[in-house]
Amino acid sequence: MNWIILIIAGLFEVGFTTCLKLSNNFSNVKWSTAFFVCIILSFLLLNKATQTLPMGTAYAVWTGIGAVGTVIIGIFYFNEPATFWRIFFICTLIGSIAGLKFFASH
C-alpha cells in the first residue's frame, strides 16, 4: 500500500512543478494555490510512505517520478525539446526507478 502512496506522492510532485510554471511567478492565484495544495499533499504522502519504506529508496523513487513526469509534461504541454538524449536518459531514469522498487529491501 505504501508503494501506491509513494507513487501518488510522486504524481503530486509533478503537479506542483507544473503548477509552479503555470503560476507565472506566483502572480496567478489559481495556479499558485494549486501549487501549495500539491506540494503539501506530496510531502505528506512521502512522509507516510517513508514510515514503512526505506527512506533513501522512497526519496529516490519520489524524485524520479517527479523528474520523469515533469519532463513528459514539459515535452507534451510546454513544447520542450524531445531530443534523442533527453528521451534516452529519461528511459534510464525509469529503469533506475523500477530497479529500486524491484530490489528494495525492507
Instruction: Decide: residue 64, CB within 10 A, 0-12 exposed, 13-18 middle, 19+ buried.
Output: buried
Residue 97 pLDDT: 86
| pLDDT reported for residue 105 | 61
When comparing pLDDT for 44 and 102, which is higher? 44
Mean pLDDT of 53-68: 93
pLDDT of residue 52: 93
Q: What is the pLDDT of residue 98?
A: 86
- pLDDT of 104 > 80? The answer is no
